[in-house]
Amino acid sequence: MKKVKIATDWLGGCAGCHMSFLDIDERVVKLMDAVEFTSSPLTDLKHPPEDGVTVGILEGAICNSHNVEVAKRMRERCQILIAVGDCATFGGVPAMRNLVGTEAALKRAYLETESVVEGIIPDSPELGKPLETVTGVDKVVKVDLFIPGCPPRADAFFYALSELLAGRTPVVLPPELFTYD
């Protein structure tokens, strides 16, 4: 039996959605006969392979140029893309900087408060150039399914994966699986 390949990656925000994913607990073991995790918190590989990925799970908001590249790479390499968490859905907590503007937020965080970076705003190509506004993943790439919540319930992850393994692509989650924050 050919296994379904799943890749995960994350953007701006916390890693709470990945932790919720791991809360599937022993149910993930039941999936292992049908699933191969190509990049995930279980494998510690950070990016999906170039081809053959069935499902991509993307957590976090689009905050900078690096996040745009990651989202586009996931969309190109994955047949189905799932955006998870409130950050991926509408920007969530990272989008709070939209209220004051990127420059003001960076100035406050790095110049006007005590910081480990000695009063400079980090400017490294590895960090990516901050975008003027933080946004959800669907503003950059096509998303096939959203799993909202902060973090989403493990049951929502399990439901989506179970549906996909049964050959069905869920368009929306049943209401009892939503997390309302």
Q: What is the pLDDT of residues 11-67, one digit of tens each?
A: 887 776 666 666 566 676 777 777 777 766 555 556 666 677 888 989 889 999 999
CATH, residue 29: 3.40.50.700
1: helix, strand or coil: coil
Q: Which domain holds residue 172?
A: 4-92+132-177
In a domain, 167, yes or no: yes
In a domain, 138, yes or no: yes
What average pLDDT does this structure show over 125-148? 90
Counting the structural domains of the chain, the total is 1
Residue 139 binned pLDDT confidence (cut-offs 50, 70, 90): very high
pLDDT of residue 126: 79
pLDDT of residue 75: 94
132: helix, strand or coil: strand
If one counts every other C-beta atom within 10 angstroms of the C-beta of residue 35, the result is: 19
Burial of 114 (C-beta count, 10 Å sphere; 0-12/13-18/19+): exposed
